[in-house]
Amino acid sequence: MAQAYKTETDSEGSGPERPGSWFRRLVDGWRGDPGIWRRGLVTAGAALLIALVMLFHAQIPNNIGNLGSLTETFLPWLGVFVPVIVVIAVVRKSATALIAVLLPTIIWINQFGGLISDKSGGEGDLTVATHNVNADNTDPTGTAQDVAASGADVLALEELTADAVPTYEKALSRIYKYHSVKGTVGVWSKYPLADTKPVDIKLGWVRALRTTVDTPKGEVAVYVAHLPSVRVKLDAGFTANQRDESADALGDAISKEKLGKVILLGDLNGTMNDRALNGVTAQMRSTQGAAGNGFGFSWPASFPMARIDQIMVKGVEPVSSWTLPKTNSDHLPIAARVELSE
């Protein structure tokens, strides 16, 4: 009876496990085991390979199936392998793998850790939004109303079909007094538009435009663009050459812009990490990177894995950036607020 009482007392008095005790037990269990350094060499090698890819992705050649651009499109997802490697290292009792996994962890945090925090703040002067509405959209009216609910002062739509344009015009006419459609892209605005014209992005048909928005804080040059789609094929790799040529042409047009305040809205079919978009990204800032909360992935809408829809600025200050709720499109709409200096 006394023995039973003693056992219950010990159990009750043990209290909650102190922080770090699991780690001490792990170390105690490995102590004196010479295999902790020899085991898990393959796992350690995988960790180092991931680290090298993240660190030297710009050196991965594009002349073999555009492998470099493909890697850069999904670069943040390499971080998914880090916890997997940690679990394998613990199960294998490999100190070598645990030490090796520190390298990709540090590199990933350095490259993408800043995207996780919420950098938004302030109300801004102008709210803009962009959406690839999908040419096969069966509910253009609902899609237009959903995007307009964002409160955007300037709204860009891509992948417009000739049959659907009147529907979008009707659905948006109550909110937006001014609009212009060129080819398969269009812009709707609460403020007057001027000098609207197509932008030649080397496709043979119109998928980009440039307009001047006369805001209360001055004129802003707004570009709307839908760069060619990319595909991943087993026999050809990442087929992005046409997209790359269009990105260069778009970057060249923006570089010649005379107005100091510039906003680019659209589906660029590429991420900010993709070197093929350097003609654009080298001269403009991403609102998501500067004032967003999280990665802001926009495609595919069912399970977003990449931010290929972009809002980029030059000469204005991003205040906040976010994705909008899913519509009947395969892309998520995105929006941003910017500060326009006097």
The 10s digit of each residue's pLDDT in 119-158 is 888 789 999 999 999 999 999 999 999 999 999 999 999 9
Please give the model's pTM, rounded to 2 decimal places.
0.87
Q: Where are the domains of the chain?
A: 2-116, 126-339
- Quick one: tokens of 28? 């105690």
Q: What is the DSSP string of 124-137?
A: -SEEEEEEE--TT-
pLDDT tens for residues 197-242?
999 999 999 999 999 999 999 999 999 999 999 887 665 567 788 9
SS (H, E, C) 188-243: EECCCEEEEEECCCCCCCCCEEEEEEEECCEEEEEEEEECCCCEEECCCEEECHHH
Given CA atoms 300, 324, 287, 257 in this order, what sign does their dihedral have?
Answer: positive
Rounded to whole angstroms, the maximal C-alpha distance in the chain is 95
Q: What's the pLDDT at 231?
A: 81
Confidence label for 65 from pLDDT (cuts 50, 70 and 90): confident
d(CA 287, CA 284): 9
**What pLDDT, in 10s, does the model give residues 165-177?**
999 999 999 999 9
Q: What fold is seen in the domain 126-339? A: Deoxyribonuclease I; Chain A (3.60.10)
The burial class, CB within 10 Å (0-12 / 13-18 / 19+), for 169 is middle
Of 324, 306, 243, 254, residue with least CA distance to 285: 254
